[in-house]
Structure 1
């Protein structure tokens, strides 16, 4: 009987601790989302690295891929791998500068694969995830609190997301996605600016500009 009581208490305490941990993690994510969503706009410079232990690829084997993005609400202009992605809130324009080709589509990028796209950066966690507090790390004098997000859907291509949050500024510092194939993609924010002077036409696609440069528009 005593062993059963001890086991019950142990399970109960573990359950309560996990619940408190989950609530604490969600509260931190909500705080970050509220703070960063309050900015009129954001400029983010980032670096991306890839690793996959199973494939023998370690982080640092290849130079990081660098990119930058301007965000305003759900609208964004993203420069990545030499291509420009413009989402005006209704249509997405993918501008391939090397091939001088532009593809257009209704709505944002398809998120069925579980990937976290720019317009969902501050809200993706609100549906489909369980949360838990991760490690608190010191990165060049900055305290970075990690939160682990586990997809509820067992068939998701993403098996884990780790968000590193600056404990002082409550800004996202790093996002790490681990895929079902073992690949781990890390995005580190290297530059952050808020409330920059941006014109109303910044997120509008200038069709004539690209036609004048002999781009093909699909």
Structure 2
């Protein structure tokens, strides 16, 4: 009986090792590393994008916008909203026909959120990952990598990354919050651009007359 218990313990130990190693799929990591290196080599890019949101109740929203990214800086433009992030400060501008306001936060206050700049390295901590079957996305063949949060209270429990098989560009991603909400982004006209000045990612109140400033720092 004791011998049987030892054999069972060894078997369970081996199974646990296999299960743990499978959480970090080496094939997926190779693709993710290639995507991250491609992003760093561009030293900046611009793109247009489509954004779609849906929730468990059936509510959905679809918008299009423009994005510029340089290192950990980004500027995101939507029809009535614009986000400036210079790597230290985040300005969120809401501009409608009836009012204008900008909310200011430190980047540290936004910790844990997925952004256009950290999406390229988010897999490095807090997530397990696995390579799924290839698919066609925007007319291109892509590797699909699934990230799963290690913690049950993470803002997003699952993220799917669509990575161009030939160029290693990140063409889009889908995020799931675990409560029925899903957010998807699809890049279009992605172009490398390392000449974007740092000032482009800083909100200048002089260019927006009549805007109400709400500083939450």
Q: Please, what TM-score do these two structures have when normalized by structure 2?
A: 0.81
Which stretches of structure 1, 4 residues or longer, exceed 4 Å deviation after superposition? none
Task: Indicate yes or no: 2:44 matched with 1:46.
Answer: no
**Mind listing any 5+ residue stretches in structure 1 that lack a counterpart?**
none
Q: Indicate if the aligned counterparts of 1:92 and 1:108 stay in contact, CA closer than 8 A.
A: no
**Mind listing any 5+ residue stretches in structure 2 that lack a counterpart?**
none
- CA deviation string 1:153-177 (max 9, x = no partner): 0222322111111101101112111
- CA deviation string 1:94-146 (max 9, x = no partner): 1222222122122256234xx41123121111110001001201235411110
- CA deviation string 1:9-47 (max 9, x = no partner): xx76x9389639701111110110011111121112111
| Distance change in 2, residues 1:63/1:200 (3 Å) | closer
Q: Indicate if the aligned counterparts of 1:87 and 1:108 stay in contact, CA closer than 8 A.
A: no
1:152 positional shift: 0.4
CA distance in 2, matches of 1:40, 1:65: 27
Task: Indicate yes or no: 2:27 matched with 1:31.
Answer: no
Select which of 210, 213, 216 maps to 1:217.
213
Matching residue of 1:75 = 73
Any idea what SS the aligned residue of 1:135 has? coil
Aligned residues: 205
Q: Please, what TM-score do these two structures have when normalized by structure 1?
A: 0.81
CA distance in 2, matches of 1:138, 1:39: 24
1:65 positional shift: 1.1
Select which of 181, 184, 193 maps to 1:183.
181
